[in-house]
Amino acid sequence: MNIVVFASGAGSNAACLFRDGARGRFGGAKFFLVSDNPDSGALRAAREMGIESITFNPGAPGARISPDAAGRLLEALEKINPTLVVLAGFMRIMPSAIVRAFDGRMINLHPSLLPLYKGKDSIRRAFEAGEKITGCTVHYVSDELDGGKIIAQKPVEILPGDSVESLTQRVHAAEHELLGSVVEKLIIGREARL
């Protein structure tokens, strides 16, 4: 079984998955990293842990991926033939052709209790709105941004003395737990059915 993780930035969630994987949490699944950012922490973590990685040039501004880059990416993914694709801090919009090709096999981690605070800066927006509770969500990827079927959520209380930074730290800690447990359920569940 192959698990492909997409990440663009710090890569703390990707690193947790790689670490748990190395400890055997996901059976014998083999990890791959895909990143649009050659300077990402995710890529450094993958290198340090001996995880095969692919960096690609998105070929388009903002959050987009050009049709050419999408075609090359889809080809690379089809070669890997992943059981599961995990978007863990991937900051680009996944092209429709790739979403369709991995329908039901592609999940995304998002730092809010969806359907609240879709899109960017979700932790800050929840904090500034004066919410008492926020959290994180893992959901299947669909063509609607942050809109696919929800698999699991973990709430995080916003405390009176919190800052955006302290809240962000606790949301990240919750994400590390939530994502690992969802991947474990999906992978081990699938293994049991094989």
Closest listed residue to residue 175, CA positions, set 153, 158, 147? 153
**Residue of minimal Cβ distance to ligand GAR:** 89
Minimum distance from CB of 194 to ligand GAR (Å)?
A: 29
Q: Catalytic: which of 110, 139, 172, 176?
A: 110
Which residue number, 22 or 68, has a Cβ lying nearer to ligand GAR?
22
Minimum distance from CB of 53 to ligand GAR (Å)?
A: 14
Which residue number, 71 or 169, has a Cβ lying nearer to ligand GAR?
169
Which residue number, 7 or 183, has a Cβ lying nearer to ligand GAR?
7
Distance between CA atoms of residues 172 and 109, nearest Å: 11
Distance between CA atoms of residues 95 and 84, nearest Å: 17
In the complex, which residues of this chain contact ligand GAR (CB under 6 A)? 7, 9-14, 88-89, 109-111, 172, 175
| Residue 110 appears among annotated catalytic residues | yes
Distance between CA atoms of residues 3 and 78, nearest Å: 12
Minimum distance from CB of 98 to ligand GAR (Å)?
A: 16
List the catalytic residues: 110
